[in-house]
Structures are given as C-alpha cells and as structure tokens.
Amino acid sequence: MTDVTASRVAPIKGRWQARAAPSRPGTLYLLCWFCGSLLLAFLVIPLIALATHQSAQNLGEVAGIADVRDAIALSLEGAFLSAALAALAGVPLAYVLARTRFPGKGVTAALIDLPLAVPHTVAGIALLMVFGRQGVFGEPLQALVGLKFWGTLAGIVVAMLFVSAPYTVNAARIGFEAVDPRLEQIARTLGLGPWRTFLRITLPLAWHSIMTGVTLTYARSISEFGAVVILVYYPMTAPVKIYELFLRFGLEQAAAAALLLLIVSLGLFVLLRALAQRGVPASGSR
Amino acid sequence: MSIAVAVEALSLTLGAVRLNKLDFRLGRGEILVILGPNGAGKSVTLETIAGFHRPDSGRVFLGGRDVTALPPEQRRVGFVVQNFGLFPHLTVAQNVAIARRAGRAAAGHDAGLPPHGDPEALLSYFGIAHLAHRAPAGLSAGEKQRVALARALASAPDLFLFDEPFSALDAETRDQLREELKSFLRALAIPAIFVTHDHDDALALADTVVVLRDGAIVQSGSAAEIFGKPANSFVARFVGVENILPGQVVAASDGLFTLAVGERTLRAASSANVGSPRHSILLAVRAENVTLLSSRVAAESPGAVNQLQGHVTGSRTIGPLVMVQIDCGFALKAYVLAPQWQAMKLGQEGTVLAEIAPDAIHLMSE
C-alpha cells in the first residue's frame, strides 16, 4: 500500500520515454500500452458516462437545491480543514521519519499506512469509540471545551483526516528523503541555523512532493463516505447526500448531484495540482 | 607559519566509524589532504570539524577560537562537497547571497579579498558574474566549483573543508579543476582540509598529507614523504607504490643494507631504522625508479649494483609511458617512456636488465 502512494506522488522524469529508446516500438511496449489502455478506459468511461447521462437542465435543477449546494460546500470545507491539519501535523512527522532514526521507526511507518488498509466503515466505528459521546476524547472534550464530534464539522474533519492523512505523510516523507542531507549541512556551515535551513532549503526542495500529498489528502477527504457516514450522518457531506438522494429519489437525482460534485472536486484537484507544480514558495527563484 | 587550525586528540564513535585521537594542525593558507580508503572515517572527520557531530573527546580550534562546542552555523567553515552541492532551487546569485556571516562584521576582512557580504563582488572575483541569474543545473563543473567557492567565501570562513568534490568527474576535468582550486586557495590564503581517496588529488594539492585508516592516522607528512617513504605497506599500496617486495635483512651498517629478496641480493641506502639482520622487511620501489637496460649493454658493467636480469612478462601502455612487467625471480614493474621501450633491444627469450638505485629502495618494517 505504500507503493501505491509512492508511485502516485513520485514524479518520474521523462515518463514518456523508455530508458533506452528503441528504434522501433518493441512488442513489450505495445503489449504494455494495450494492457494500460484497458485500465485507462476502465477508469475514464464511467466518469464520461456520468457526465453524458445528464442534461444541463437536470444539472441546473439539482444545483438549485440548497441541500445539495450546502452538502458540497460542507465537503469542500471539511476537506480543506482535513488537508490543512494533515499538512500541519503530517509534514513534521514526515520530516522526522525522513531524517532521524529511532527505535520503532518501522512500526511507525507501517502505522501511518494502516488507515489505507482498514475498511472505512471500520475506521468510522473505531473513531466513534474515541470521538463519540462516550469516547476517550469525545466525552472530555465536550465537557471541557464544548467540542462535539457528532453531528458537527469537527466530526467530519476527524473522519476525513483519519483516512486521508497517510497520503500527506508518505508524500512529504519521500520529498524530504529526496533532499540531499549534504545541502542542509552546507546551509548550516553558511551560517543558517536549523530553522532557517529547514525553511530556506529543505522545505522548498520538498515542496512539490508535500503539495502533491496534501492535494491527494484533500481529494481523498472530499470523496470519503464510509467513515463520515458512521461518525457524522448529519450534517451531510456531498457523498452522504448523494447516497441519500439515491436511496430516496433514485438514480437520476443522485447522478446529477454526483456530476456536480465531480465537476467541483475535479476542478479543485486540477487547480491544486497546478499550484503544486509551480512549487517552491519563498525561494524567489525566477 | 602561525597555527590557523588545530585538531587535538579528536575521538568519536559513530556507527561503524571510530575516529581515534586525530591530531593535526594547519598554518595560514596551508592545504592538508586527508587521504584514505572508503570507510576510513574521512567524511566523519570533516563533519566533526564542521560541527555536525559532537566528538567524544578532543578539541577543534579555528582561527584561535575553541569551536568544539559550537554548532556548525557559528563555526565559520566553508564546506564544499561532491558535485559542489549548489542549492538547485536557487539561482547562482541567491546561492551566494544565502550565506550569513555568523558573528563576523562585514568589515575587517583580509586585504585583497572581495567583501564577504557582497555577492556581486564575490561572483566577479571568481569571474562568474555573468552566471548570476542562472540555475545551478545548467552549469559546467568548473562553473559550479567557482559558485561553491564564492558561496563558501561569503560566510567569511576560517577554514575550507572539501569532501571529495571531484570524485564524480572525469579525469581531464578533475585535473583542470584541481589546478584552478589550488590557485584560488593560494590567493585566498585560507587554510583548507581536502578529503579524498585519490592520491592524484593529494600529490597535486597537498602541503601536508594525512593518511587515515580505520579512523586513525597512519602517517602524516609532506606529499613527497608519503609517496616516497610510506610508513608501511598499507600506505605504500594506497599511494600506488607498484613494487612492494618481501625481503630479509642480511647485513646493515651506517644506513647501508644488504637485502635478500627471493634468490637475489639487493643493496639499499636508507635512513630508516628497520631492524637488524635476519629481520623480515618490505621493500617499496616505485616503478619509475626501476630503470630498464638493454641486456647486451648492461652485461658489460659487472661492477654495477642492483642489476637484475629478467624476462619481460607483459607490458601496458599508460599515456606516454609503458608499464613493463618483469620476472626476475620476483615480479617487478617498471615505467619506461614509450619511445624508449620501442627502441629497446631485448635479449634472447625477451630478457632485459632492470636496475634500481640503492637510494630508490624504501624499507618498511610492516
């Protein structure tokens, strides 16, 4: 499961070129292309079907429903907070994992991947036990600061974060590991303290990977259903709303709302990816 | 020469590397080359001097300050690594401008040097002002070296540290950059420690060579000493002495030795105190100190010393030289200029006479 993340976040240079470019396409490449095309078609055709199934009128109608708009907005908001929290806590964790050795490091790295292997309904139930009314965190947090995780945005964020944080941690870790420690050492000898070195050398160089991971966390958070639906049914995020529409009104309405969510989340995903590609804040290079 | 840098009894255990009471001193502008095989602790030594590892014991003095307890950013060392370690996300000018002069005022630098706080002046000094807005990725190795030096200089260093900067370069570029580096270091008069496993680096750059093995100094001295009079067979092999021959002392008096090597007897003039008769010793003879004579010519000088007749068993052209392998009871290698080798008349069955001057034989006890 680590590999899945890794292959999605690690940028492969010259990805369209075979290493030793053969003068004519070999059978191997043709076969690979053939198999790959099947998968690509499998991934894309359902989305195209979803998109072409709808009339613009139908889409407009669904977009006019306040519940649907609210659900999509709630999804975006929750995913944003989830991605922000993942970045805030996950990037430091990734940095220690990339740069230090400590007992139990292997176990820690495996733990981070755990949510990817756990069915999300299971994750939801586990979270309920911790953040629910009688939960280890849920009960005292409500008693002390009035923070509730059931029926609130906080609960949605918790559920989203649990299933999507690994993407940020793993991608950031790969990004940090790719930064030559020698560059950090040189920065130190040039008079930059550990903080300045991190902010001016390490972070900018790992920026692309970190943003790729945060983008994946964001996307995964928007799409999360299982954990959210168990921990927080109301207020409804978009996937929950779509499920409800499907149960109550059937395919037509659900599909229209689904397309709407798809358009919004794909648009954001493309935008975020573009931002990540730009890379490197605070370096002022170029 | 006043002491600019001193490393005193530096010891450190770090994973598999164990530095054992390293001791050396550098004067102003002196270049010290630490020579040793991979795993000898060369890089760890540099990193400890730079402040990345706290030594278990020992002290480091830079520019008269005890820096043993200081973090790297307060030590004022210029660190240059393999491939020069330019920050890839910054332009050349930004690479140089990022340096902060830890605790040192911009004024008061040495006369003739560009002001440390002025990146433009630094780039001009190294003749690379035109590269200021380029990204490091597109630079040649020579340009990268100049940027790395300019950047290191920007932090007003008391010492330069070089960790095998040339090890990824081809031989020709390496020669060129070595010469360039040497002239820059001479002009800057800042002491430098240069770590390498390439003895050509040591020969070309070093005022002093320290040979490191398993974290301990095996020998230190001038390049001429290390290469001409290696302390033991490890150093001899490492600095590329082609002939290391086991022998026995037959007689020794006044620095004149009579030695048995296989069935042969050789004379050596050596100041080395390598023991009395019947002691086993090692002879180190550089291939360029073995002279080959056409066997017919030399047979006419019966009184000659250390003339060995042997068969040529092989030859290999290395640039303008030919490395000739001879079997004269033991294997011996000799360098001959290529035209001389072509003109040489070999005797029957490829025999040749090899001659070694007594003072070209260096004796080692181990």
Domain ranges of chain A: 25-54, 63-278
Of A189, A193, A205, the CB nearest to B77: A189
> Is the overall model pTM greater than 0.90, yes or no?
no
CA distances from A80 to A22, A87, B168 (A): 45, 11, 45
Give the model's confidence band at B199: pLDDT under 50 very low, under 70 low, under 90 confident, else very high.
Answer: confident
Pick the CATH number of B241-364 from 3.40.630.30, 3.20.10.10, 1.10.10.10, 2.40.50.100: 2.40.50.100
Q: pLDDT tens digit string along B224-237?
A: 999 989 999 999 99
B79 neighbourhood in chain A, CB within 8 Å: 185-186, 189
Q: Where in chain B is the domain with CATH 3.40.50.300?
A: 3-236
Residue A223 CA neighbour count, 13 Å, CB half: 15
DSSP notation for B289-324: GEEEE-HHHHTT-TT-SSEEEEEEEEEEEETTEEEE
B152/A189 Cβ within 8 A: yes
Q: What is the pLDDT of chain A when averaged over all its residues? A: 87
Of B75, B94, B99, the CB nearest to A285: B94
Q: Which of B89, B147, B155 to mutate to test the interface with A (most CBs of A within 10 A)?
A: B89
**Model-level ipTM above the cut of 0.90:** no
- Check residue B337 and give its pLDDT: 93
CA B235 to chain centre: 11
Q: Which of A189, A200, A285 to mutate to test the interface with B (most CBs of B within 10 A)?
A: A189
Over range A174-198, report the average pLDDT.
95
Q: Where in chain B is the domain with CATH 2.40.50.100?
A: 241-364
- Check residue B101 and give its pLDDT: 63
Instruction: Tell me the C-alpha distance between A179 and A204, whole Å.
Output: 10
Over range A238-265, report the average pLDDT.
91
Of B88, B89, B155, the CB nearest to A189: B155
- Check residue A276 and give its pLDDT: 74
DSSP notation for A1-38: -HHHHHHHHS--TTTTS-SS--SS--HHHHHHHHHHHH
Topology of domain A63-278, CATH: MetI-like fold (1.10.3720)
Searching chain B, which residue's CA lies closest to the CA of residue A201? B87
The answer to whether residue B102 scores a pLDDT higher than 80 is no
A281 Rama class: left (phi>0) / alpha (psi -120 to 50) / beta: beta
**Tokens read off for B34:** 């630490």
What is the nearest CA distance from A204 to chain B, expressed in angstroms? 8
B13 at interface of A, judged by CB pairs closer than 8 A: no
- Check residue B275 and give its pLDDT: 64
Instruction: Tell me the C-alpha distance between A145 and A121, whole Å.
Output: 28
Question: What kind of architecture, by CATH, is found in domain B3-236?
Answer: 3-Layer(aba) Sandwich (3.40)
Searching chain A, which residue's CA lies closest to the CA of residue B134? A286
Q: pLDDT tens digit string along B23-55?
A: 999 999 999 999 999 989 999 999 999 999 999
Instruction: Tell me the C-alpha distance between A198 and A192, whole Å.
Output: 9
